[in-house]
Amino acid sequence: MNATAVDLAVRLGRLPLSNPIVVASGTFGYAREMEHLVDLDRLGAIIPKTITPQPRAGNSPWRTVETAAGMLNSIGLDNDGIEAFVEHHLPYLAGLAAPVVVSIAGHDLDEFVAMARRLDGLAGVAALELNISCPNVTGGVDFGSDPKLCRRVVAGVRDACNVPILAKLTPNVTDIGAIARAAAEGGADAISAINTCLGLAVDWRRRKPLLGAGMGGLSGPAIKPIALRAVYQVAQAVDIPVIGIGGIATIDDVMEFLVAGATAVQIGTANFYHPTVTMKILDELPAAVTELGASSVIDVVGTLKI
Ligand SMILES: Cc1cc2nc3c(=O)[nH]c(=O)nc-3n(C[C@H](O)[C@H](O)[C@H](O)COP(=O)(O)O)c2cc1C
């Protein structure tokens, strides 16, 4: 098989992507910051930092701590709010070839719905990712840990707009499959899994948490096995596509997630220490697909033998 002939295109419900390599919310700024390092047009999709209805100052420092094979963060959704995003960031994002999936978070259903209405139909908004999984703010994560609330918020947003919807789930639940099923029933086009794993770092001499907010979200290679497990469980639970997230830093990681059931992947923490990692992975993807005897990414998805 010729690696140059490999079909990289995938679909996340109503959202077509030229390839499955996506950058994760909160780890790629609003993309402009990365334009001198990364050929943004090559990315399968771009997910900017989550926005909220009002500006948020975020949590007090420290906001990040390095851990073994990863990092803990409690940024607290620091952002300038939806209107600043529409005015200052969206015009730039709309000019990129890669589809932009706008990540939104609200405290309640009404806030999610209002944000979806505001963004629907604007140039540059290819889809919405509902951040119902941030461990560093109160409110939003409840939608990601209760199936009924999850279904309600997804259905509410689905009714309020015409763009495709991704539901981003937290791993900090007992049964992620049940939450994914609820999101699918609510009308999600795809499931993004996972957001960070709740963690704690301690300065024992001061008897204090290292993060200003106390607990935070663990990300990076440390969480990859948890994310792979979650993606596998979600893929078994629903018929809609799954986007794998968690500790992905190499082509081998990407292939593991595809085989486990992910139709696409998001690269997060790796962007911080290897800003061109997505370009390297894109260079290596066709040969890796070919190595499995496949001629398209789709043929690899969910082929894990258990
Ligand atoms: C510093 C930092 C900020 C993040 N901010 C957001 C965010 O605003 N919205 C969101 O949905 N996820 C956010 N995340 C979670 C990532 O998108 C991703 O789900 C998680 O880090 C796991 O992937 P990774 O191990 O590749 O980083 C953030 C992660 C980090 C490390």
Q: What are phi and psi of 262, to 5 degrees?
A: -80, 135
Question: Mind listing the pLDDT tens digit of every residue in the chain (306 residues)?
Answer: 677 799 999 999 999 999 999 999 999 999 999 999 999 999 999 999 999 999 999 999 999 999 999 999 999 999 999 999 999 999 999 999 999 999 999 999 999 999 999 999 999 999 999 999 977 676 566 799 999 999 999 999 999 999 999 999 999 999 999 999 999 999 999 999 999 999 999 999 999 999 999 999 999 999 999 999 999 999 999 999 999 999 999 999 999 999 999 999 999 999 999 999 999 999 999 999 999 999 999 999 999 998
- Cβ of 75 less than 6 Å from ligand 1: yes
Task: Give distance in angstroms: CA of 196 to centre of ligand 1.
Answer: 6
- 78: CA distance to ligand 1 center in Å? 13
Q: Cβ(233) to ligand 1 under 6 A?
A: no
Catalytic residue among 134, 150, 161, 197: 134
Q: Whose CA is nearest to atom 14 of ligand 1?
A: 26
Q: Count other Cβ atoms within 10 Å, centred on residue 108.
A: 14
CA of 64 to the centre of ligand 1 (A): 12
Q: How far apart are CA 62 and CA 292, in angstroms?
A: 44
Does residue 48's CB lie within 6 angstroms of at least one atom of ligand 1?
Answer: no
Instruction: Tell me the three state secondary structure of residue 284.
Output: helix
Residue 151 Cβ inside 6 Å of ligand 1? The answer reads no
Is 73's C-beta closer than 6 angstroms to any atom of ligand 1? Answer: yes
Q: What are the Cα distances from residue 184, in Å, to 43, 82, 169, 231?
A: 26, 26, 12, 15
- Which atom number of ligand 1 is nearest to the Cα of residue 79? 8
Q: Which residue has the tokens 């993807």?
A: 285
Query: What residues pair up with 209 in beta bridges, in sequence order?
Result: 202
pLDDT at 141: 66
Question: Is the minimum distance from the CB of 199 to ligand 1 under 6 angstroms?
Answer: no
How far is it, in rounded angstroms, from Cα 213 to Cα 200?
Answer: 10
- Using a 6 Å cutoff on CB, does residue 136 contact ligand 1? no
Q: Are 188 and 240 in contact (CB under 8 A)?
A: yes
> 111 in the Ramachandran plot: left (φ > 0), alpha (ψ -120 to 50) or beta?
alpha
Report yes or no: 143 and 113 within 8 Å, Cβ to Cβ. Answer: no
- Cβ(236)–Cβ(177) below 8 Å: yes
Residue 134 among the catalytic residues? yes
DSSP code, position 172: -
Q: How far, in Å, are 104, 182, 231, 261, 297 from residue 258 at the CA level?
A: 26, 23, 9, 5, 8
Distance from residue 267's CA to the centre of ligand 1 (Å): 9
What is the per-residue pLDDT for 140?
Answer: 62
Pairing of strands 165-169, 127-131: parallel
Interval between CA 228 and ligand 1 midpoint (Å): 16
